[in-house]
Amino acid sequence: MSEKNADLVEIRHLKQYFPVNVGLFRTKPLKAVDDVTFSIKRGETLGLVGESGCGKTTVGRTILNLYKPTSGEIIYDGKPVKTKEDIKEFRKKATMVFQDPYSSLDPRMTVADIIGEPLDVHKMYDSKEQRRDRILELMSYVGLNSEHASRYAHEFSGGQRQRIGIARSLAFNPEFIVCDEPVSALDVSIQAQVINMFDDLQDKLGLTYLFIAHDLLVVRHISDRIAVMYLGKMVELADAKEIYHHPQHPYSKSLLSAVPVPDPKEARANKRIVLSGDIPSPLNAPSGCPFRTRCPHATAQCSESMPELKEISSGHFAACHIL
């Protein structure tokens, strides 16, 4: 097993383009993820934020090869994930918690069968008793009782359904979990419980997370580092506290100015940065920097070339020509 500070997951120049029909026999690439590079250390949580449609979920699904990458490298524990055999091995160590607990669980299966499905697929038990014991152990991890095992998903609340999904994702002892907005469909009161459970599971099982969300308060609570995406590009990456207190990219500043502050005095002093213009379509992204059409500081250089994600201070990366 690699040491704690080693990179567990490395993503290099990842691209995910979807062909879209634009006329008779003509297609155009929709650049959902465009040249994204980052790494996640073992035992770390990297938060991935950005507004709807920026490509966050596509990054997570492409890493797990639910979408075949258009180009780029996915390296897990020092080994590239390329061939079918690589992907099969990778899937035993990496898994996903989906956003919607209502649609990601089969309504015709009992809780025991939903959680036990990965065990069945990977033949991870020698007897029915061993399978049952493992399912009950997984249920106890996420706060479900043994009597829940024979019930169906529709008999549970949203928070409990998400717990079932989390238990299923833990079935074959993964090291890396992509959490795709796992609390956005839940009530606020339940969100905190589920987030704390993710924290506890990370401590208990030594998990590494890519935590995708658009709620910045949730991301701040759980993440060690935060990456900000805009229109398929990564525009900023830094330590969670650093990005909250010293955002550098104009888009990050705008995003963070919208986060509600519990202190009324502080909230009044906060200047909300409202962006003008609409988000461009990833099908017709602007030339150069994708944010330039909404950026108050855009220059002629911004329309000519995409700024590279460069280190502006220790561990703090941003992609902006004016920095």
In tens, the pLDDT along 87-130 reads 989 988 999 998 888 888 888 999 999 999 988 887 888 899 99
CA distance 143 to 264: 36
Share of the chain above pLDDT 70, in %: 98
In this structure, the strands spanning 94-97 and 176-180 are: parallel
Share of the chain above pLDDT 90, in %: 64
**Averaged over 53-71, what is the pLDDT?**
94
**Predicted confidence band of residue 3 (pLDDT cuts 50, 70, 90):** low
pTM: 0.91
Q: Is the pLDDT assigned to residue 55 strictly greater than 70?
A: yes
- Comparing CA positions, the residue from 104, 215, 96 lying closest to residue 156 is 104
Q: Is the pLDDT assigned to residue 2 strictly greater than 70?
A: no
- Give the H or E element holding residue 180: strand 176-180
Model pLDDT for residues 272-321, shown as the tens digit of each residue: 787 877 778 888 888 899 999 999 888 999 999 999 999 999 999 999 99
Model pLDDT for residues 184-196, shown as the tens digit of each residue: 888 888 888 899 9
CA distance 12 to 273: 32
Q: Is the pLDDT assigned to residue 25 strictly greater than 90?
A: no
Q: Is the pLDDT assigned to residue 268 strictly greater than 80?
A: no
Q: Which residue has the higher pLDDT, 266 or 173?
A: 173
Q: Is the pLDDT assigned to residue 1 strictly greater than 50?
A: no
**Predicted confidence band of residue 4 (pLDDT cuts 50, 70, 90):** low
Amino acid residing at 314:
S
CA distance 21 to 220: 39
CA distance 98 to 103: 9
CA distance 16 to 63: 10
Instruction: Compute the residue count for the chain.
Output: 323
pLDDT for 269 equals 73
CA distance 238 to 36: 15
**Averaged over 41-64, what is the pLDDT?**
94
pLDDT for 133 equals 93
Q: Which residue has the higher pLDDT, 11 or 51?
A: 11
Domains and their CATH numbers in the chain: 7-223 (3.40.50.300)
Q: Is the pLDDT assigned to residue 152 strictly greater than 60?
A: yes
